[in-house]
Amino acid sequence: MSAALKYDYVRLTPQWRKTGARYDCVVFNGLDGLEFASILALFTLRTLTTDLWVALIRQYHFVGHHSSSDYIQLQDVNQIDFIFVDSIVRAVHILPPSTYNPFLTVQDLSSPDIHLRLQ
């Protein structure tokens, strides 16, 4: 992430998988508005005249907001898909399920995410 240039890069490494909060997750513009996913791979499809930037994702489904905190909750339904990298809005942190909450939670504990709340 570069504050000076206002870029937010996705951190993609298999070492973080299944070790806690996900740092390779994004919010992207999907068919139903904003959607959430973890990035499994980034690559370029090259044709004779065009390069297409594509991401292989594991998509999460929106299940609602937490009853007391109003945080966005997601469910992993093991859905793998492709998206164009241009559809990615930015990176997000997704917290794993806990003993008190069976769903994944979009992390906005330190500073509530006004962009997601307005969307």
C-beta neighbour count of 4 within 10 angstroms: 5
Residue 89 in domain: yes
Residue 94 in domain: yes
Cross-strand bridge partners of residue 59 = 37, 79
C-beta neighbour count of 117 within 10 angstroms: 12
- Provide the CA 114 distance to its chain's centre, in angstroms: 16
What is the pLDDT, as a whole number, of residue 26? 87
Please report where in the chains the tokens 């996913």 appear, as a residue: 37
The whole-model pTM stands at 0.73
What is the pLDDT, as a whole number, of residue 108? 59
Structural domain including 31 reads 19-109
Residue 35 in domain: yes
Residue 116 in domain: no
pLDDT digits (tens, 9 = 90+) for 68-118: 777 889 999 899 999 998 998 888 888 888 888 889 988 754 455 555 555
What is the pLDDT, as a whole number, of residue 110? 44
Residue 51 in domain: yes
Residue 118 in domain: no
pLDDT digits (tens, 9 = 90+) for 10-66: 655 555 555 555 567 888 998 888 899 988 888 888 888 999 899 999 999 999 888
**Residue 93 structure tokens:** 């942190």
Nearest of 7, 38, 42, 1 to residue 21 by alpha carbon: 38
Residue 11 in domain: no
Residue 101 in domain: yes
**Number of domains composing the chain:** 1
C-beta neighbour count of 84 within 10 angstroms: 12
